[in-house]
Amino acid sequence: MRFGYSERCLEHDTGERHPENPDRLRAIRRGLAKRHGVEYAEADPATREEVVAVHDAEYVDELEAFVDDGGGNWDPDTVASEGTWDAALTSAGLAQWAARSALDGDDGRDTPFALGRPPGHHAVPDDAMGFCFFNNAAVATQTVLDEGAADRVAIFDWDVHHGNGTQDVFYERGDVLYASIHEEGLYPDTGALDETGRDEGEGTTVNLPLAAGAGDADYLYAIDEAVAPAIERFDPDLVIVSAGFDAHRHDPISRMRVSSEGYALMTDRIRSVTDEVGAANAYVLEGGYGLDTLAEGVSMVHETFDGRTPVGDDDDPDDETESLVAELRELLDL
Is 122 labeled as catalytic in the residue annotation?
Answer: yes
Compute the CA torsion angle 264, 266, 271, 272 (nearest 10 deg).
120
Distance CA 265, CA 262 (A): 5
The 8-class DSSP code of residue 9 comes to G
Closest to 323 measured CA to CA, from 210, 189, 157, 191: 210
Q: Read out DSSP for 184-218? A: TT-TT----TT----GGGTT-EEEEEEPTT-BHHH
Report helix, strand or coil for 78: coil
The answer to whether 129 and 122 have CB atoms below 8 angstroms apart is yes
| Of 12, 55, 122, 182, catalytic | 122
Full 3-state SS string of 157-177: ECCCCCCHHHHHHHCCCCCEE
Q: Long-range contacts: 166-169, Cβ < 8 Å, 24+?
A: 166/120, 166/121, 166/135, 166/137, 166/138, 166/242, 167/191, 167/195, 167/205, 167/207, 168/124, 168/125, 169/54, 169/124, 169/125, 169/135, 169/138, 169/142
The answer to whether 227 and 156 have CB atoms below 8 angstroms apart is yes
323 class by beta-carbon count within 10 Å (0-12 exposed, 13-18 middle, 19+ buried):
exposed
User: Starting at the edge strand that comes first in sequence, how are the strands of the sheet with 153-157 ordered?
Assistant: 39-41, 2-4, 112-114, 280-285, 238-243, 153-157, 176-183, 205-210
Residues with a known catalytic role: 122
